[in-house]
Chain A
Amino acid sequence: MDHLNKEKDIREDIAWAQINKDVLRSLEKPRPMFWVLFGLAVAMFSVGVGCEIYQYRTGMGVANMNNPHMWGLYIATFIFWIGMSHSGTLLSAILHIIHADWRKPIYRFAEAMTTFSLMTAGLFVMVHLGRLWQFYYAVPYPNERWTWPNFQSPLLWDAMAIFTYLSSSIIFLYVGSIPDFAICRDNAKGWRKTFYTVLALGWMGTDRQWRNFRVAYLTVACFLIPLAVSVHSIVASDFAMSQQPGWHVTSFPPYFVAGALYSGCAAIITLFIVLRYTFRFEEYMTMPILDKVARLTFAIAMVWTYLNLIEFASVWYGHDPYSKDVLIQKATGPFAPFWWMMIFCGSIVPFALAVKKFRANLTIMMIVSLLLNLGMWLERWMIVAPTYSHGYYPWTWDHDQWPSFVQWGIVFGSFGWFGLLFMIFCKLVPSVSMYEVKEMVYHRTLANKHSREA
């Protein structure tokens, strides 16, 4: 019974009214600081928009891509954001299925993260297109030209997978927060009242509603898990299905999924700390929970490292001299600094999570989580760029191509966009699931009672 002598995930004597009060406080009129940060996000986003407009009117050339560097930061960042999106699903869906109830206080914002990062990723697919205004050619719909997209193309699978994943995770997020909307409705005034009334869909908390709710929630959760796995496997097959050296690797799909969960968890840690600080959620986002998330992250980090090593090994001992060539270039060529940085951030830094003392220190956790995310972003870039600069065909090798400010600007902007959405979310939707926390408290008390009786 060692969990007894451990610090508790959540206080069991906390009053339900208290929970409502604390959480609803996060929806109150924002402090000035909020507007400052908000303005910052808007500024970042508009930088991105500016760059995109420039690129849209002048042509992709301004991104300083070339032959062979046909794809650039866009695709890399696209994968990064898709990866991010796995956090929510992991916490809410997977942990929900396996009844890890410590997830309850933190899954809501994780899900939001899923949705928003997917929306961001979607944008990058668009930004990447040479003829954005013709994107609808990729949509399979019966049209006057009698033409259809090419269903063989991984890119098309991508588009479809992402769309499905996005829509279902939105549903998941929404369904999951209906009871909370009801609570908000009951406590809100003015336009917020109507707003929440609409969203709450007349939730009264009757037994029947609860029963249906549970079924619905579970169903969507189950539906979401395979999606989450498939979506990143498909993103992986964008590369694995192609035949370029360094991409044409069977282990890519699991590798990508692991990477996704990894970056997802890292991002959760970051936002966990941020929210805990801004909304004073110490009561709910407690250190033990952070500790659990951190340990989970560490585990995934090790899985990722393992898969990484597998990939290197398979390339190194494989028959394909070209891929080996690329691998060597990654380690020694012009991209070496970034590549080693990625190894460091991705495989070395996580060991900090293995240290209990560090796990207990918010500052360190913050830094670590940011480093992890950096590492994961670099990983994606190191998948895309080196293969181009050193592919099959030596005549087109290009080692001094560097993304132009346009590319950097749009990547930068995407973070603004994400922040923007997230801040709006925090002010409209309770970022801690009230009803589930109540459940959690209730279960814990029961559990303790039993153990005391025993």
Chain B
Amino acid sequence: MNLNRFLCIAGQGAARRLAVGLLLTTAGVLGASAATAASKVEQPIEFPHDTHAGKMGINCLYCHTYARRSAVSGIPPLQKCMGCHQNIESVKDRPRIKQLFEYWEKKEPIPWKKVHDLPEFVRFSHERHVQRFYFKQERPIQEACMPCHGDVKGMTVAEKVQPLSMGWCVSCHEQDHRIDNVSAKTSNGPNDCWQCHK
């Protein structure tokens, strides 16, 4: 267990992988496979998060509206995009917006590519995390999302910046987090295997 602590101090990602790798090659391999480096994904429309979340400062939950209610954060329905863009004359002629309108006219959903994809046997709930770190702790939304999704303000299309691997999840679940913004009470994340494994 002390060893674990050591690894924890050794920190996320590379450093720990190195440590592990030294200890046992197999582990090294696993570690490497688990924590894939940040990767840029080809999307049907190169959606500029930087403009929306950054320049416009739109709340993440405005578009990813299911995140507070459901396990999945949800890709905004086409209707949502149109809701604003129908009335924004200034950018109507931009190529990306054109694409958007095409989809809308065809009434077919945009085949977005998954960026943050978890293995199918993982039971992850956006709802719980948003409730705790956004509503309960009353942090700015960016802060609540950042630990997993990175600084989206700076990206055009979203990029995967964290390994999203088991050890990485556990490392955060083991730490104590404040219950809410008033009380000093803290608690750590659930540690039953069944909380995340389905």
What residues on B are CB-neighbors of A143 within 8 Å? 20, 24, 26-27, 30-31, 167
Say whether B166 faces chain A, with CB atoms less than 8 Å apart: yes
In the bound complex, what is the Cα–Cα distance between A142 and B31 (angstroms)? Answer: 11
Q: Is the CB of B24 within 8 A of A146?
A: no
**Please, which residues of chain B bring their CB within 8 A of the CB of A136?**
26
Residue-wise, chain A 131-174 has the 8 Å CB interface mask toward B (1 for contact) of 00000100101111111000000000000000000000000000
B17 on the A face (CB < 8 A)? yes
Query: Is residue B34 contacting chain A, with contact meaning CB distance below 8 A?
Result: yes
Q: Which of B145-181 contact A (CB under 8 A)?
A: 165-167, 170-171
Q: What's the least CB distance linking B125 to chain A, in Å?
A: 20
SS class, residues of chain A in contact with chain B: loop
User: Is B115 positioned at the interface, with any CB of A under 8 Å from its CB?
Assistant: no
B167 to chain A, nearest CB (A): 4
Determine how close the nearest CB of chain A comes to the CB of B27; give it in whole angstroms: 4
List the B side residues contacting A144 at CB < 8 Å: 16-17, 20, 27, 30-31, 34-35, 165-167
Size band of the interface chain A makes with B: under 10
The reply on B183 being an interface residue by CB < 8 A is: no
Is B24 a contact partner of A142 (Cβ separation < 8 A)?
yes
Q: Which residue of A lies closest to B29 (CB)?
A: A144
- Whether B17 pairs with A146 at a CB distance below 8 angstroms is no
B90 CB within 8 Å of chain A = no
Asked if B39 is at the interface of the complex by the 8 Å CB criterion, the answer is: no
A31 vs B161: C-alpha distance in the bound complex, in angstroms? 66
B residues within 8 A CB of A146? 4, 7, 166-167, 170-171
Which A residues are CB-close (under 8 A) to B170?
A: 145-146
Which B residues are CB-close (under 8 A) to A147?
A: 166
How long is the Cα–Cα vector from A144 to B15 in the complex, in angstroms? 12
Chain A, Cβ-Cβ closest to B170 = A146
Shortest CB distance A75–B (Å):
26
Tell me the nearest residue of chain B to A143, going by C-beta. B27
Distance A269 CA – B116 CA, assembled complex (angstroms): 65
Q: CA–CA, A139 to B23, complex, Å?
A: 13
Q: Which B residues are in CB contact (< 8 Å) with A145?
A: 30, 34, 165-167, 170
Q: Which one of A136, A145, A146, A147 has the highest number of Cβ atoms from chain B below 10 Å of its Cβ? A: A146
Interface check B3, CB cutoff 8 A: yes
Interfacial chain B residues near A139, Cβ < 8 Å: 26
Chain A neighbourhood of B35, CB < 8 A? 144
Total number of residue pairs linking A and B with CB closer than 8 Å: 44
Please name the residue on chain B nearest to A145 by beta carbon.
B166
For B, the interface residue count at a CB cutoff of 8 angstroms equals 19
Chain B interface mostly: helix
List chain B residues, Cβ under 8 A from A142. 3-4, 7, 20, 23-24, 27
Q: Which residues of A contact B34 (CB under 8 A)?
A: 144-145
Residues of A within 8 A of B4 (CB): 142, 146
Question: Which residues of B110-152 have CB atoms within 8 Å of chain A's CB atoms?
Answer: none
Give, as a whole number of angstroms, the nearest-CB distance from B185 to chain A. Answer: 26
Interchain CA distance A143-B30 in the complex, whole Å = 8
- Proximity bits, A407-423, B CB within 8 Å = 1, else 0: 00000000000000000
Which residues of B from 3 to 27 have beta carbons under 8 Å from A?
3-4, 7, 16-17, 20, 23-24, 26-27
Quick check: A141 and B166 within 8 Å, CB to CB? no
Query: Roughly how many angstroms separate A136 CA and B29 CA in the complex, as a whole number?
Result: 13
Chain A nearest CB from B71 CB (Å) reads 22
Whole-angstrom distance between the alpha carbons of A48 and B34 in the complex? 35
C-alpha spacing A144/B171, complex, angstroms? 10
Q: Which residue of A lies closest to B32 (CB)?
A: A144
A141–B27 touching, CB < 8 Å: yes
- A141, A144, A145 pick with most chain B CB within 10 angstroms: A144
Closest residue to A136 on the B side, CB-wise?
Answer: B26
Chain A residues positioned under 8 Å from B16 (CB to CB):
144
CB <8 Å contact, B17 and A141: no
Q: Is the CB of B23 within 8 A of A141?
A: yes
Closest-by-CB residue of A relative to B168 is A144
Q: How far is the CA of A396 from the CA of B139 in the complex (A)?
A: 56
Chain B residues, CB < 8 A from A141: 23-24, 26-27
Q: Once bound together, how far apart are the Cα atoms of A147 and B20, in whole Å?
A: 13
Q: CA of A141 to CA of B31 in the docked complex: distance in angstroms?
A: 13
The listed residue with most A CB atoms (<10 A of its CB), out of B16, B27, B31, B35, is B27
Of the listed residues A141, A142, A143, A145, the one surrounded by the most CB atoms of chain B closer than 10 A to its CB is: A143
CA distance A368 to B100 in the complex (A): 86
Question: In the complex, which residues of chain A have a beta carbon less than 8 angstroms from the beta carbon of B23?
Answer: 141-142
A80 to chain B, nearest CB (A): 30
Known interface pairs A143-B30, A145-B30, A145-B167; 7 further A-B residue pairs with C-beta atoms within 8 A, sorted by A's residue number: A139-B26, A142-B24, A143-B20, A143-B27, A143-B167, A144-B27, A144-B165
Which residues on B are within 8 Å of A, measured CB to CB?
3-4, 7, 16-17, 20, 23-24, 26-27, 30-31, 34-35, 165-167, 170-171
Closest 5 CB pairs of A and B: A144-B31, A143-B27, A144-B167, A141-B24, A145-B166
26 contacts between A and B (CB under 8 A): A139-B26, A141-B23, A141-B26, A142-B3, A142-B4, A142-B23, A142-B24, A143-B20, A143-B26, A143-B27, A143-B30, A144-B16, A144-B17, A144-B20, A144-B27, A144-B31, A144-B166, A144-B167, A145-B30, A145-B166, A146-B4, A146-B7, A146-B167, A146-B170, A146-B171, A147-B166
